[in-house]
Structure 1
Amino acid sequence: MRILMTCDPEIPVPPGKYGGVERLVSGLCQEYQAMGHEVYLVANSESTEPVHKRFGWKSKKSRGLKNVLANAFQLREIVREIKPDVIHSFSRLLYLYPMFISGTKVHVLQTYGRAISQRSTDMARRICGKYIHFACCGAHMLKNIKGYEDWNVVYNFTDTDYFKAPDIERKYLVFLGRIEDIKGTHEAIMVAKKSNTPLIIAGNIEPEHQEYFDTKVKPYIDGEFIRYIGPVDDQQKQSLLEGAKAFLMPIKWEEPFGIVMVEAMACGAPVLAFRRGSVPEIVVDGTGMISDSIHEMAKHVGTMKCISPAALNRYVKNTFSREVIASHYINLFYQWLKQ
């Protein structure tokens, strides 16, 4: 199968540092090729992902009419050149329109890892007809979408070959993510204090959230019971999660997926999370506990020692590995091509 992957133009594939979507695209490119497919990529011009052929977007900005038109008409010409069987799009829907208005007939899967616009997807159906298909990384994202019956829910993946789950003593709790109110950093501190369990906090502080850190987080940091270690790379993340008694996810918003929950479980750390966003889809029996309050989450801390790190790692490999997720997508592609 000839597969064309597209990604928004701002960040290269693979990304140097931050870039969740770009990491997904990179992993899928690799896995599709390992499965014997011919893969092409349209992404930021500085991308280095090894594929059959790579194209750099003319504009490195995905917003603004001039930028959108430049990339949209470029995509039309690329499709005419390589004649893909399927387009797997992680870029803007608008990029597809000149191609379909010109009469191109190729199946496109538009994958969402962010809020879904009913208006945009309805417009795409009118323009692209039966050749447009949609997927998202969590079923909860579809609760307010009309006509969601033909949507496909395909979760994000993590590198299950990288993350390990050693059978070692686990002594502390971990919060890992952006330091801001909706991520629940302050709530994680309260859980640690109520459960009398040390907490290590890791993550970025964006300028707009500095006041939150200064007032809701910093006053509790003592360098021993509550520690803040700043941003971490993959190696530091792995080491941190491998020693965690539990990973805390007291989110206060509808998080689309939350890949860090899966990474924690791959490292053998069960997840304690609030009942928001994708949490009920990811945290199932034997992988952690879902709660509705700080008090309830603190009570659950003491029950985590009965969860096997090895079993958590197996759950992630069977459900969220790159091979499993890529196979889901490939099966969809073959289904559409047979129609």
Structure 2
Amino acid sequence: MKKAKKLNIVQVISNAPDANPLPPTNQGGTEKVVYELTQELVRRGHRVSLFAARGTRTRARDIPFPKQVTGDRILGFVLRKMPRKVDIIHDHTFPSTLGRAKLPIPVVCTYHLPMKHRVSNPVYVSKRARKVMGGNRGYYVYNGINPKEYEFSERKGDYLLFMGRVLEEKGILQAIHIAERTNKKLLIAGPIKDFALYTKKIVPRIRNNPNIKYVGAVGGKRKQKLLKHAKCLLFPTLWEEPFGLVMIEAMICGTPVVALNNGAVPEVMAGFPGLVCKSVKEMIRKVQSGRFPAPRALRRYVLSRFTTAKMTDRYLKIYRRVITRRNSKTAFLRR
């Protein structure tokens, strides 16, 4: 059987004056996914160039963005610095800067967040996201994580965990309510993205309840420790969640996730439908019951569906399909 040709791939991620280099330390689900995908592609022998924030550490050819190159300026910079003989560009930028341009090189665009504009080869991070955002048009690839980066533990502590951006749409107030009603400890970990919400609605409840504590944005060993020893992760998301990376991060550590059934949550949690709730009241009952799947079952589930290797397999199939289609179209036009 003929071996598949190794590809020359360009990966492009959004840039901003405060953009974090890869790999991310304390936050950044998209950044983590792009980093792991890039590393795995290089490990498999593909030639990869990565456009990302200055300071990025990668096995790929690193092409750092100057701080002022943001938004639509990314297109011009990438075209000026484009390596030779590129087979495909993978655009992870929030406005799909390269995907919206008419380039001679095929472009695949992953919609990590909801976007309204259309591109030729959209990829969504769940079937639900493809249906809601793309009308079932395009591809979907589940986000994946590297199992070696996560510590597993069957020994759990006595605290509930909320890990994510401190925003109303992420369900932070609902997580606090669950902790109050169950009289359990709650650790809140994540960057504060709405300071008014934090100071007016969260701080007073923390002051009135010694069981609730904000521990800040976390990464590395501290994040690992919080995830692997939590009694459960609370994921009461209120918005049309495209994926929810922290759910699989918790489960691969052996920690159960009690979540609201918004967005792609039922899809990501398909192996454990009993943990997906229709209301906060149901979440409270589930936490109070203390009946959760075995930690090893949670880990096995993630290993079967949501690894970097599986994500990379899927993206490579899409790359080759898009390249073949472009080559066929070009050959037809040349007749």
TM-score (norm 2): 0.84
Instruction: Please name the residue that 1:168 is paired with.
Output: 155
Alignment of 1:55-94 (within 5 A): 55-57=63-65, 60-63=68-71, 68=72, 70-79=73-82, 81-91=83-93, 92-94=95-97
Structure 1: 5+ residue runs without aligned partners?
A: 125-131
Q: 1:268 to 1:15 in 2, by over 3 A?
A: closer
Amino acid at match of 2:43: A
Q: Secondary structure at the match of 1:82?
A: coil
Aligned to 2:15: 9
**What secondary structure, in the 3-state scheme, does the structure 1 residue paired with 2:63 have?**
strand
Distance 1:45 1:265 in 2: 32
Q: Distance in 2 between matches of 1:266 and 1:107?
A: 35
| TM-score normalized with structure 1 length | 0.83
Bigger mean CA offset, 10-19 vs 161-170: 10-19
For 1:153, the equivalent position in structure 2 comes to 140
Shift in Å, 1:98: 5.6
Specify whether residues 285 and 96 from structure 1 end up closer, same or farther in structure 2 by C-alpha distance, changes over 3 A only. closer
CA offsets 1:138-193 (integer angstroms, 9 cap, x no match): 222234446x4441111222231121321214422111122232222221122123
Indicate the RMSD between aligned Cα atoms, in angstroms: 2.5
8 Å Cα contact 1:270/1:304 also seen in 2: no
Matches within 5 A, 1:118-267: 120-121=117-118, 124=119, 132-145=120-133, 148-206=135-193, 208-221=194-207, 224-267=210-253
Deviation at 1:307, TM superposition (A): 0.8
Provide the residue aligned with 2:331 in structure 1.
none
* One-letter amino acid of the structure 2 residue matched with residue 161 of structure 1: K
**1:323, distance to aligned residue in structure 2 (A):** 1.0
Contact 2:141 2:311 in 1 (8 A): yes
Assess if the C-alpha contact under 8 Å between 2:130 and 2:137 holds in 1: no
- 1:271–1:287 CA contact under 8 A, matched in 2: no
Q: Does the CA-based 8 Å contact 1:180-1:213 persist in structure 2? A: no
* 1:19-45 deviation per Cα after TM superposition (whole angstroms, max 9, x unaligned): 332222221111001112111122334
Partner of 1:269: 255
Closer, same or farther: CA 15–171 of 1 in aligned 2, 3 Å: closer
Q: Which 5+ residue runs of structure 2 have no aligned equivalent? A: 1-6, 326-335
Q: CA deviation at 1:86?
A: 1.5
Aligned to 2:32: 23
1:95 aligns with 2:103: no
Task: Look up the equivalent residue of 2:92 and give its one-letter code.
Answer: F
**In percent, how many aligned pairs have the same letter?**
29
* AA aligned opposite 2:37: L
Letter in 2 for 1:44: A
User: Do the aligned partners of 1:75 and 1:99 also contact (CA within 8 Å) in 2?
Assistant: no
Partners of 2:166 and 2:66 lie apart in 1 by 35
Q: Counterpart in 2 of 1:44?
A: 53
Deviation sequence 1:79-133 (CA, Å, 0-9, x none): 4x41211211112433356662xxx2x321100111121xx21xx4xxxxxxx31
Give, in whole Å, the separation in 1 of the partners of 2:233 and 2:223. 12
